[in-house]
Structure 1
Amino acid sequence: MLKILEAIGSFVLRRLGEIGTIVMLYGETMRALRHKPRMRHILNQMSHLGVDSLLIVSLTLLFTGVVFTLQTADVLIRFGAQGTVGGIISIAIGRELGPVLVAVVCAGRVGAAITAEISTMKVTEQIDALRVMAVSPIDYLLVPRMLACMIVVPLLTVFGDVIGVFGGWLIAVCYEGISSYAYMNSIHVFVELFDLTGGVIKAVFFGNVIAVLGCYYGLHCPDGAEGVGRATTKTVVSSIIVIFILNAVLTFFLY
């Protein structure tokens, strides 16, 4: 029994220490924002992290819209509410499915890429070389990636929302027999602007989380190739958990 309690206590203390280190890193990043950001680095990161994620985001949201419409349209038609299909699909994707799914995809694609890149730099002692040259790794590595993610993830979310609604339109019109006018009119009637902007606000926070956790695990990865793999896995798992928790909190306050 004592060994079990000791193991639980050790686990809790490690997690609390990890959270404290992440908070301190986040504070250092916020202080580093007082300096003028390197726009060239930010644009390079936006291209690397954002453009390369367009395809997987498109496929994810397209088939999410398709499946969600298949699941809901039959029930709504059965109760004579086919005129609400477009509005329901748009609200669900705009508020929840769009930002959360894009964030989860980016946690796997973007977060893993950030961690792999920075942890490789750490293992090959490039981080130490930056410090020797009096260059802050926070300014040079973390700030451009965080700002890029806070811009790219909301843009991908807007793009994904449009693709998801289009996927719903394809099924509603081509498979369920709902007129295109009824689908689009229900969006106009039921959807408010904040249903979409609220999801974009969530995406800004999600992008922040993905970048900070990706850089944290990259900077603190164990030595060796195996350490890089472990750090990448920790980034993806931790980011997804934090995204779901943060989504619940933001939903409570936003809506």
Structure 2
Amino acid sequence: MPSSVDLHLRSYGQPSAPDRHEFAQLVLPLKGELLLEVEGREGVLDPLRAGFVAPGAWHAQHGNASNRSIIVDIGTEALDAATAGRLFERPFAPLGAASRKLVEFMALMADGGAVAPSVLQGWVPLLLDTLALDAPRPSSRLAALLARIEAEPGLAWSTGSMANSLGCSVSRLHALFREEHDTTPHAWLLEHRLARVREWLARTDVPIAELALRSGFSEQSALTRALRKATGMTPAAYRRRHREAGLENTSKQ
């Protein structure tokens, strides 16, 4: 059973034996058609229609030779009861324009390799909202935006571009950050970018100037100032300290 959210890319062939599990499941076709049966109800899924399997529901599926789908396993602790109830009543949900964009985004991420858990944690609530509600909740839209930023920290993010992505004013953006994260958009963005830089400095040999651009800093000197303020060290010193600590730990083994 997934502890929170897991994602898989799958294709289906001959009819499967009925199955059930304690986690919920979203079936999001990318191409082809898939017949899904959930507790006696049948629906044909395609790139314009998704399927939802509630926790504990008996289900079976089969598809044509060219089908391919994103399968999202969702632990019960990550699924709002009201949302689950609405999707249970409508297990075969049409994928509107907003939902299709979310699915296409995740398909690109999945094709590029393993999807970071933080990205999934932001993407799933917004997708569930677009399937179950007339309009996604602001907190879900914010979570999806943060997941996108975490996946692409090097883009030219600003409070203005973040607000535009959410379709809200800059003042509303600040209010959402205070409500959900008790911080400001700028502080969250800087903290995340520095966290990614520290991870890359410790684990890679990528030049510092390249890391600065990759993480969204205008130049190496801007990164150096920000990291020194946060840790008291320059990027080179931070990398050196972590390399020395790694060598010391290795020699003790």
TM over 0.5: no
Greater helix percent: which structure?
Answer: 1
TM normalised by structure 2 equals 0.23
Structure with bigger strand share is 2
